[in-house]
Amino acid sequence: MANLNIRKPVDAAVTQPAKMFRLSRRKFIFLSAAAAVALPACHEAASPESQHFAAWPDIDIPEIDGPGYGWHFDYFELTEGGAWPRILTNPQKAQLEKLSDLILPASDTAPAPSEVGVVEFWDEWISAPYSAQARTRDLALNGLVWIENQYQKMFKTDFLSAKASDDIAFMDVWSTISRDDEDHAKIRKFFEHMRYLTLGAYYTTPQGAQDLGAVPNVPLTGDYPGPSPQAQAHLESILKDIGITL
């Protein structure tokens, strides 16, 4: 975590070059999370603060009972805010924006989640009237309170005002809770769940798809150029293995 690059949101659009056959740090994080790979660090190697976590809170979580989209909804009836009211406050959105950037920092060629509107995903997801989103609502809203308490415990400051070095120290401690640590199971689940959704939301944006090297929904003009030499060689290798030659 020592290479975290905390970047402020910018207004200018970010143009990213196409990337092929390169496993960047961002891709490694994404692929590791997608495969549900967790590497618990031993407590002896962790910061002393890892033994002194703030208690997991138990705040009142808003109950959301709405129709959702339904089976045959009319797009033209949707309001500007979507199919259901958004419940996140501006401070909560700011916290989630910063948290997303800590989970997936900006790189030289890819913007931070805060720069591509991931916080709007959080607002819609947490506000949705479905059981899966209710789980996120409970973890996220309690988790944001826990983060504030943990920052006060570790650094005597609030989350949004903390220094970059504090953020790195916090992530180092938070992300290395062992799966065998039953005393802090909810804190670990909070990290894993937020990481999973941050990565999932980011890599469905155009910027995220480009960071992965994907070229979705790009129309071709003129004649179809056929597969690339690499794809052609791969296909021929597969066909040869099953006894077919072109």
Residue ranges of domains in the chain: 25-241
Q: If you average pLDDT over residues 191-208, what whole number do you get?
A: 93
CA atoms within 13 A on the CB side of 46: 20
Of 7-11, 101-105, 169-173, 210-214, the least confident: 7-11
Q: Which residues pair with 82 in a beta bridge?
A: 79
What per-residue confidence (pLDDT) applies to 84? 82
Instruction: Identify the band that residue 49 occupies on the pLDDT scale cut at 50, 70 and 90.
Output: very low
| Residue 125 pLDDT | 94
pLDDT in tens, 90-146: 999 999 999 999 999 999 889 999 999 999 999 999 999 988 899 999 999 999 999
pLDDT of residue 219: 78
Which two three-digit tokens encode residue 91?
Answer: 């401070």
Residue holding tokens 């890819």?
110
In the predicted model, what is the mean pLDDT of residues 230-239? Answer: 90
- Comparing C-alpha atoms, which of 132, 164, 144, 42 is closest to residue 94? 144
∠ CA 76-82-83 to the nearest 5 degrees?
80
E-state strands within 59-179: none
Phi, psi of 70 (to 5 degrees): 80, 180
User: Which residue, chain included where needed, has tokens 């903390």?
Assistant: 162
